[in-house]
Amino acid sequence: MNEELQIVPAVLEEYGAVTRKALREYLTPKAPRRYLYDLINDYPSRGGRMLRPSLCLATARAYGAPLAYAIHAAVALELIHNAFLVHDDVEDESLERRGRPTLPAMHGVALSVNVGDALAVTALRALLDSRGVLGHRLAGRVVEETERMMRESIEGQAMDLGWRQDNLTGLDERDYLDMVFRKTCWYTTIYPSRVGALVGGRDSETLDGFVRYGFFLGAAFQIQDDLLNLLGDHDAYGKELSGDLWEGKRTLMVIELLRASEGEERQRVAAILARPRSARSRQDVAWLRRCMDEHGCIEYARSVAHAMAGAAIHEASKIYGGLAPSRDKEFLEALPRWVLARA
Amino acid sequence: MNEELQIVPAVLEEYGAVTRKALREYLTPKAPRRYLYDLINDYPSRGGRMLRPSLCLATARAYGAPLAYAIHAAVALELIHNAFLVHDDVEDESLERRGRPTLPAMHGVALSVNVGDALAVTALRALLDSRGVLGHRLAGRVVEETERMMRESIEGQAMDLGWRQDNLTGLDERDYLDMVFRKTCWYTTIYPSRVGALVGGRDSETLDGFVRYGFFLGAAFQIQDDLLNLLGDHDAYGKELSGDLWEGKRTLMVIELLRASEGEERQRVAAILARPRSARSRQDVAWLRRCMDEHGCIEYARSVAHAMAGAAIHEASKIYGGLAPSRDKEFLEALPRWVLARA
């Protein structure tokens, strides 16, 4: 990795540790352990990059707020992220998460749905606790941001799930970006930035600027994530490779494959995608993967990801240009390039 | 029904209509409709008694608060109730709800889990909107009560699900009441009463009194509900009859059956309960039902429900005794007897 991007893993490590420490307080096991609190601790204890809480903390600091102003939101965001992961794994019938069997694969759908609910409610508790440092009014504003972020994520998730369930085959890049804007960008980039600026005392005009910036950065992040799902190193990625193909997800590569293929080939692509997960074979998945190479779907998605990251760099220079130099500012400015460089 | 209990359906109708009207604002269909907002509207549009929001509104009024102080909490509670119903139906693999197929039976597990999440987040929005009438501090206190209520419900749900999943056969009445205290009482009776008193300006000592009262009232309600599941009229009840037996739920009657039966009979009861839902036959369910009659399990549960309702009447006289006479007070005082009289 490029030397100037080294700031990113360094800051992720530092703020990740800060968040993990604060998180522990909300994940103390208590009764009923066996059916709830032991399970709640599972995903958060599997590690993860802590990108989202770190972005929130770094933005707050870059705008002059102490860490204490943003730590509850950072913890809540990480809890909500884990709540989403658990429900996603139920909804997608996924088998692996961060290198181990998913919660529903180990404990069944019923307990897992309930564990996801518990993680989300614990996030609300963390946000309520922020009233002590932020006061009632500002803490309420952060809860308001959280409500918006969760709503956007759920809307995007509905699109993603519904497209698969109905086996839509006529989607285009705009549909994809609209879905990713809601499903990924709001909670990965827009919310952490907005809340960081909010507790740093910025007005709603400044906050609105993060919607554009966060869209470009988040879309680059999601496309890169989908590419890693196809191309990555299994041990580093921690999920089953090509898992998205097994699950029939409408990634940008799948949408491009449906657009670029014709006749019998297109029919076969659509037929494979229409099957339930359990009826897709290893051969089906390998064949889809080869077709993507033949039609240049990977290269196409890579070029969109680069365009998005370029736009994010441009927006970042406008947003952060006026801020005093700091380690946090450096981190924020390096993020768009890091998103593409990560393996 | 006894004439003095007629106040209950009358008040339920009035406050139910008030809640439904306010609820409509939060359920306006928008995009994505097909995979999310049309589905969100499904359960709330199926009717229901509106017991919980009515209890909240009546308590607020009895303590001198205008309806406007409690309406957002009433709406939020009804939304959370529906969120629980959707996730319950996924977790229990239930087939019928309020006389029609369940959401997962119609639209699959994936979209249904997401719809439940959306209903809970919409509840948060309603609570945030209460800041306009209650101010930031008091609205925050209501959110705090909501967080507690949801946490208790999720803990109770974990017990209920886990007991079935592990096919526990040595549970007793105390285990059952502990589970129901969390799973049913908090959101059905304790929360509505506490929030009503809270927006009516009462202190936390008064609020604590509702934990006891709400436990007795809620336990009577749940046992009666479980009895109706076995004995009720299908059309009035709106769920499959004996659905709890199909699902292997640890109701008080099942716990008593396991306690009272011996030898081969007990082994057969445990073996039937251990099977997955799909492996239980109509004969199995009918046989369990007969054994319950033979061992007096129905009568036993009925007597516990009566004892609980009696205790609730006693607590109610202590709590509401000092309040000025009002229609709301009459309603609150009639509730424990109505809970047992309803069909």
ipTM for the predicted complex: 0.95
Do the chains contact at A154 and B36, CB–CB below 8 Å? yes
Do the chains contact at B159 and A35, CB–CB below 8 Å? yes
Split at pLDDT 50, 70, 90, the class of A235 is low
Two tokens at A312? 């994010």
* Nearest CB to B128; choose among A117, A122, A140: A140
Two tokens at B69? 């102080």
> Which residue in chain A is spatially nearest to B120 when comparing CA positions?
A117
Two tokens at A31? 């009764």
pLDDT at B111: 98
Give the separation between CA A162 and CA A222, rounded to whole angstroms. Answer: 19
Q: Does B326 touch chain A (CB under 8 A)?
A: no
Do the chains contact at B158 and A124, CB–CB below 8 Å? no
Residue A29 scores a pLDDT above 70? yes
> Which residue in chain B is spatially nearest to A86 when comparing CA positions?
B113
In Å, how far is B159's CA from the nearest CA of chain A?
7
> Which tops the pLDDT comparison, A234 or A341?
A341
Q: What is the DSSP string of A270-336?
A: HHHHHS-GGG--HHHHHHHHHHHHHTTHHHHHHHHHHHHHHHHHHHHHHHHTTSPP-HHHHHHHHHH
Do the chains contact at A162 and B117, CB–CB below 8 Å? no
Average model confidence (pLDDT) across chain B: 95
Split at pLDDT 50, 70, 90, the class of A238 is low
Residue B210 scores a pLDDT above 80? yes
Question: Can you give the residue ranges of every domain in chain B?
Answer: 3-341
Cβ proximity of B142 and B199 under 8 Å = yes
In Å, how far is A161's CA from the nearest CA of chain B?
7
Segment A62-92, tens digit of pLDDT: 999 999 999 999 999 999 999 999 999 999 9
Q: What is the DSSP string of B253-305?
A: HHHHHHHH--HHHHHHHHHHHHS-GGG--HHHHHHHHHHHHHTTHHHHHHHHH
> Which tops the pLDDT comparison, B2 or A301?
A301
Mutate: best of B122, B155, B181, B187, partner A, most A CBs <10 A: B155
Which residues does residue B96 pair with via DSSP β-bridges, in sequence order? B101
Phi, psi of A216, deg, nearest 5 = -65, -45
Give the separation between CA A114 and CA A194, rounded to whole angstroms. Answer: 29
Split at pLDDT 50, 70, 90, the class of B235 is low
pLDDT at B232: 75
pLDDT at A295: 98
Per CB-CB distance under 8 Å, the chain A contacts of B137 are 136
pLDDT at A342: 84
Per CB-CB distance under 8 Å, the chain A contacts of B158 are 32, 35-36, 111, 114, 118
DSSP conformational letter for B37: I
Residue range A148-163: mean pLDDT, rounded: 97
Give the separation between CA B271 and CA A120, rounded to whole angstroms. Answer: 36
In Å, how far is A289's CA from the nearest CA of chain B?
25
Split at pLDDT 50, 70, 90, the class of A100 is very high
Per CB-CB distance under 8 Å, the chain A contacts of B111 are 158, 161-162, 165
Q: Just give the CATH number of B3-341.
A: 1.10.600.10
pLDDT at B87: 98
Chain position carrying tokens 């209990």 = B5
Segment B66-122, tens digit of pLDDT: 999 999 999 999 999 999 999 999 999 999 999 999 999 999 999 999 999 999 999
pLDDT at B239: 64
Do the chains contact at B111 and A161, CB–CB below 8 Å? yes
pLDDT at A239: 64
Residue A240 scores a pLDDT above 70? no
Q: Does A161 touch chain B (CB under 8 A)?
A: yes
User: What residues of chain A, 47 to 66, have a C-beta less than 8 Å from chain B?
Assistant: none
Split at pLDDT 50, 70, 90, the class of B217 is very high
User: What residues of chain A, 101 to 140, have a C-beta less than 8 Å from chain B?
Assistant: 108-111, 113-114, 116-118, 120-122, 124-125, 128, 131, 136-137, 139-140
Amino acid, res. B171: L
pLDDT at A291: 97
Two tokens at A52? 């989202």
In Å, how far is B19's CA from the nearest CA of chain A?
22
Residue A287 scores a pLDDT above 90? yes
Do the chains contact at B165 and A108, CB–CB below 8 Å? yes
Q: What is the DSSP string of A35-96?
A: IIIHHHTTGGGG----HHHHHHHHHHHHTT--HHHHHHHHHHHHHHHHHHHHHHHHHHT--E
Split at pLDDT 50, 70, 90, the class of A2 is confident
Residue B19 scores a pLDDT above 90? yes
Split at pLDDT 50, 70, 90, the class of B238 is low
How big is the A-B interface in CB pairs under 8 Å? 136
Give the separation between CA A21 and CA B49, rounded to whole angstroms. Answer: 45
Segment B21-71, tens digit of pLDDT: 999 999 998 989 999 999 999 999 998 999 999 999 999 999 999 999 999
In Å, how far is A274's CA from the nearest CA of chain B?
15
